[in-house]
Amino acid sequence: MRRTARVWRGKSTPAKVESYTRWSFHSFGVIEVVTFGLPPFGNVPAPLAWTLFGLVSAHALLCAAASSRALDWTRGARPQPLRLPAAVAVTTAATAVVGMTLAGTDRHTAGGSAASAGAALFVGVIGFGTGTLALGTRNKRRMLYIVGGATVGAGAVSFPLGFPGPVAVITALAVLIAAGFLTFTAAFSVWLLDAVYALDEARETRTRLAVAEERLRFGRDLHDVMGRNLAVIALKSELAVQLARRERPEAVEQMIEVQRIAHEAQKEVREVVRGYRQADLAAELAGARGVLAAAGIDCTVTGSASGLPAPVQSALGWVVRETTTNVLRHGDAAVCSVSLRAEDGRVVLTVENDGAPTGEAAGGGSGTRTGTGLAGLQERLSAVDGTLRAGPAGDGRFRVVAEVPLAAPLPGRDDRDGQDAGPGRTDRDDQDGRDGRDGRDGRGGRRGVGRAMSEVAS
């Protein structure tokens, strides 16, 4: 008993519903035998009673087997059964004719108990047989044909056996009710089972989509967060190598800066894993100016992020971060301009640089990968009803234009309230901005990477 309970608990909900449906159909066979196979005993001679009992039992067994096979067919586990339904149809007709014959020959005897048993057997066997046959088809029209054929056949058989018209009509109506009810029960049970399996598959699909969405979010955030950090680390470490080869003391400062950026990158990766990343537009603008200046790129920023809604700032902050990363990573830009303005209820951010001659530079290179680069930015902007345009602007320039409505809706996962943003985000970017603006010489502190490289080369 405990083993049976463990097996039952180990099944999924659809499997439990399927087992319940299958054994419900099997129980119909037991009900048929008890209700229509036993009453003839004591009402008719024993040999005839045993004959009727055998016919009803065989019919019930065939119906149980056929219903189980038909249920497997509806689940796609086996081909459509043909022989068993044919056997059910033959035994249904034979048993019903025997029962109706018994009812016709005994209807004038005293009490008429044999006639009642025969009539009940006739109606019941046809009802159970029709319900079983309905399981073998998924066509509703065919189900109606089966029920209608059984009803007409029951009425037609009554006349040759000498039953008056009213009795034949009543018999046909009884068959219609019994066959219709059992057919509806069978069809509804199969529909309910299909619905349960469909819901289970939908839940599994939703789970898989949630996992895939989280993977895309993680990949996109990791690309956006780490892209600029790695670009800056590469530039500063390259400068440190050149300084170290010439035994310049500034190499130590550059490696200290690389170490600091690496530690901050670790923090940001942890924030990405937690899903609490939020880009601050003002900090990103300051960081972009500082990082580009450190790389020897003349960067001008016009416009202010103050007063803009948080969703707008977050979405445009990611645009600034990604475009800055691509300016550093691709192309050979010398000048980059970032402008922010509000017009006609929309905030427009334009990032333009003169590094387009390298083909996919300044944004296009990473934008061709699905889920990263400009494609990732488009996903972020779409979440707040924004748009993104990127492409050559002529004269060797590359332009990225992002537009977001001022009344931007709250995004789903990527942008949270300010308290959810991970620590260290604004401080680091502000520090980057100060690094670029300071422009101190080698002895006093960090200098622009491009200018320092020129001095080292000389």
Query: At a CB cut-off of 8 Å and minimum separation 6, what does 371 contact?
Result: 216, 219, 220, 223, 379
Instruction: Output the CATH code of domain 276-457.
Output: 3.30.565.10
Q: Amino acid letter at 351?
A: V
Q: Which helix (H) or strand (E) holds 205?
A: helix 165-245
pLDDT band at 160 (very low <50, low <70, confident <90, very high): confident
Q: What is the enclosing helix (H) or strand (E) of 388? A: strand 387-394
pLDDT score at 439: 37
pLDDT category at 214 given cuts 50, 70, 90 is low
Higher pLDDT, 320 or 116: 320
Q: How far apart are CA 86 and CA 63, in angstroms?
A: 11
Instruction: Determine whether 216 is exposed, middle or buried from the number of CB atoms within 10 Å of its CB (0-12, 13-18, 19+).
Output: middle
Backbone angles phi, psi at 100, to 5 degrees: -70, -35
Spatial separation of the C-alpha atoms in residues 87 and 190, rounded to whole Å: 22
**Predicted confidence band at 273 (pLDDT cuts at 50, 70, 90)?**
low
Please, which residues have CB within 8 angstroms of residue 374's CB and are 6 or more apart in sequence? 322, 363, 364, 366, 367, 388, 390, 400
In whole angstroms, how large is the CA radius of gyration of the chain?
40
* CB of 155 closer than 8 Å to CB of 86: no
**What pLDDT does 353 receive?**
92
* Mean pLDDT of the 150-168 span: 77
Among the residue ranges 179-193, 350-364, 385-399, the one predicted with the least confidence is 350-364
Confidence of residue 413 (pLDDT cuts 50, 70, 90): very low
pLDDT at residue 441, as a whole number: 37
pLDDT level of residue 340 (50, 70, 90 thresholds) = very high
Q: How far apart are CA 230 and CA 236, in angstroms?
A: 10
Instruction: Kindly indicate the confidence band of residue 389, based on its pLDDT and cuts at 50, 70 and 90.
Output: very high
Rounded to 5 degrees, φ, ψ at 448 are -60, 135
- Residue spans of the domains in the chain: they are 10-207, 276-457
Query: Is the Cα dihedral 451, 455, 457, 458 positive or negative?
Result: positive
User: Average of pLDDT values for 18-25?
Assistant: 86
Q: Which amino acid is at 106?
A: D
Residue 94 and residue 56 in contact, taking contact as beta carbons nearer than 8 Å: no
Residue-by-residue DSSP string for 249-260: THHHHHHHHHHH
